[in-house]
Structure 1
Amino acid sequence: MKTERVADTDVRYRRTGDGDLAVVFVHGFLDDQYAWDRLISRLTTPGIECVTLDLAGCGDRDAVEGPYDYDRFADEAGRVVDALGKPFVLVGHSMGAAVAELVAVRRPERARGLALVTPVPLAGVHLPDEMIEPFRSLGGDADGQRGVREQLSAAFPEAELDRLVATGRHMRPEAVRAIADCWNTGHPQGERPSAHAGPVLILRGERDGFVTEDMVDDAIVPRFTAVTAVSVAEAGHWAHIEQAAHVATHLDRLLAGAHRTDSLPEANTSRPQG
């Protein structure tokens, strides 16, 4: 494993493995790049390089000034992808799924697929003020952050729960508020079908009370043309942490397919469950 910096920026990224296909992981709200470690350690696809980064205001970059919005996040993740200089698959969790899509559609010649883990719609969630305010107010509130994670998960490993609460607690309140507004408001590109033509794997925790089955079916699946949607049993909003082995099995299938082609596959529509 090695850490590198994108030239002329403060964006650093970790590289694990060695292969001609990059798998770039984008974390979600209040999380950091290390939230992917349980999943990455269980992947078995040969010839891949796994790459993680912290978005502005999060993780090791909690002191970074704003703006904290989808265009800023997509620019940062996109710069990492460009620095790698190879075909890639993007894996995004929650709001990170929206960031992943934005990066992919801006680089169609190298994007080989998307894996969206409990994704929030790119168009936004649009919670009313009284429902979004508790999320906006989580900055510095360790007990509140722990409560949200416990409420929306089914099998969160205690050690990882403690670690992420400690990480999220250090985020600046102004960053937490802005990032919550970001995923709640969404991005204009989410109002129309996605320009990403490659395969899309959607993994939703069956017990996620935030990203519901209806939300996925109504606001996410119809925007893509080549979709496989999977329900992850005994998992909530952090399926990649709660059931890392299960998620890794499905992600390995996507990666194997991405490895077998030098170009984007033809679009198709399939939605198996399991």
Structure 2
Amino acid sequence: MNATENRSTTRFLQRPEGRIAYETQGTGPVVLMIPGMGDIRSTFRFLAPAVAEAGFTAVTADLRGHGDSDTSFTSYGDEATADDTIALLEHLGRPAVLVGNSMGAAVSVIVAARRPELVQGLAMIGPWARDPQNRSGLALLLFRAMLAPAWARPVWNSYLPSLYKGTKPVDFDAYRTDLSAALKRPGHAKAFSQTTHTTHTLSGELIASVHKPALVVMGALDPDWPDAPAEAAWVAGQLGAETLIVDDAGHYPHTQRPEVVHPAIVSFLHGLHLGA
């Protein structure tokens, strides 16, 4: 049976205040993929099949209030998502390698620090593993104001291309349309706006205590950092991780340069010798 044949429909994990949507494909050791804020689980639409074809169970999940997950939660952000991730791992009944993009990388750090027995390794893509050292309070307030619920969808739709500096995914226009449609669902713009109020302070405090095999993947043009390779080096130094700097890619190198990123992640996973 190949990975495509083994793909499941959307499933839901019941949490105290609502449901988290996820899906699986493939068989073998679990690789759980966590998107960043404003994104949906199909950001891993290229990576998940590659991981499944390589002999792993690829699990992709939506954040609270994103994609197919509910908008009934009272809290959003890094710590809430870490709680959901732990609950999903417990539900799956097996430890996993965590693949986190953007905010998902911070979530991976928190989970690995709090529940190390559930984590077999970390792949951090475009990681926000700490708060920026030079961001002013005014800049942060402006960012959150720009993404207030009333105009979060059009602003995010307009802002998104700037995060894809360099090569665009082959289906970028269609994916951008899907993201905009997801934010148009009742309650989703508000949930996204609330998620933007998260900080990565806890991840920054915990990262040095994480002792798991790790890979840091950073687009050389990632606009979230004034010096993206330097930020990747900091994260890698904290984790003792391998580093891959992806040329001609911004914040989403796994979709912008899959021919570079996918083999590196699959090689990292095989190198962990996880077994079945």
Q: 1:4 aligns with which of 11, 19, 23?
A: 11
**Residues 113 and 254 in structure 1, CA contact (< 8 A), matched pair in contact too:** no
* Structure 2 match to 1:91: 99
SS of the equivalent of 1:91 reads strand
**Residues 20 and 70 in structure 2, CA contact (< 8 A), matched pair in contact too:** no
List runs of 5+ in structure 1 lacking aligned partners.
Answer: 263-274
- Deviation, 1:141, is 3.7
* Structure 2 match to 1:151: 162
1:178 partnered with 2:194: yes
Counterparts in 2 of 1:21-170, with a 5 A limit?
Answer: 21-43=29-51, 46-61=54-69, 63-123=71-131, 127-136=135-144, 137-138=146-147, 139=149, 140-153=151-164, 154=166, 155-156=168-169, 157-170=172-185
SS of the equivalent of 1:42 reads helix
Aligned partner letter, 2:55? G
For each residue in 1:98-143, what CA deviation from the matched residue of structure 2 results, as whole angstroms up to 9, or x when unmatched? 0112122233234221000000123566732432244323244443
For each residue in 1:10-56, what CA deviation from the matched residue of structure 2 results, as whole angstroms up to 9, or x when unmatched? 2232111111x100000001001111112222336643101011111
SS of the equivalent of 1:98 reads helix
Flag the 1:93–1:169 CA change in 2: closer, same or farther, 3 A: farther
* Structure 2 match to 1:272: none
Aligned partner letter, 1:47? G
List runs of 5+ in structure 2 lacking aligned partners.
Answer: 1-6
**Residues 122 and 186 in structure 1, CA contact (< 8 A), matched pair in contact too:** yes
**Residues 208 and 237 in structure 1, CA contact (< 8 A), matched pair in contact too:** yes
Count how many residue pairs are aligned between Structure 1 and Structure 2.
257
After TM superposition, the score normalised by the length of structure 1 is 0.83
SS of the equivalent of 2:45 reads helix
Flag the 1:178–1:76 CA change in 2: closer, same or farther, 3 A: same
Greater shift in the superposed pair: 191-200 or 229-238: 191-200
- Deviation, 1:76, is 0.4
SS of the equivalent of 2:59 reads strand
CA distance in 2: counterparts of 1:163 and 1:187, whole angstroms: 31
CA distance in 2: counterparts of 1:175 and 1:135, whole angstroms: 15
Flag the 1:251–1:7 CA change in 2: closer, same or farther, 3 A: same
Identity %: 26
**Residues 91 and 116 in structure 1, CA contact (< 8 A), matched pair in contact too:** yes
Flag the 1:42–1:178 CA change in 2: closer, same or farther, 3 A: same
SS of the equivalent of 1:194 reads helix
Q: 1:197 aligns with which of 203, 211, 220?
A: 211
SS of the equivalent of 2:73 reads coil
1:252 partnered with 2:260: no
**Residues 42 and 244 in structure 1, CA contact (< 8 A), matched pair in contact too:** no
SS of the equivalent of 1:230 reads strand
1:238 partnered with 2:252: yes
After TM superposition, the score normalised by the length of structure 2 is 0.83
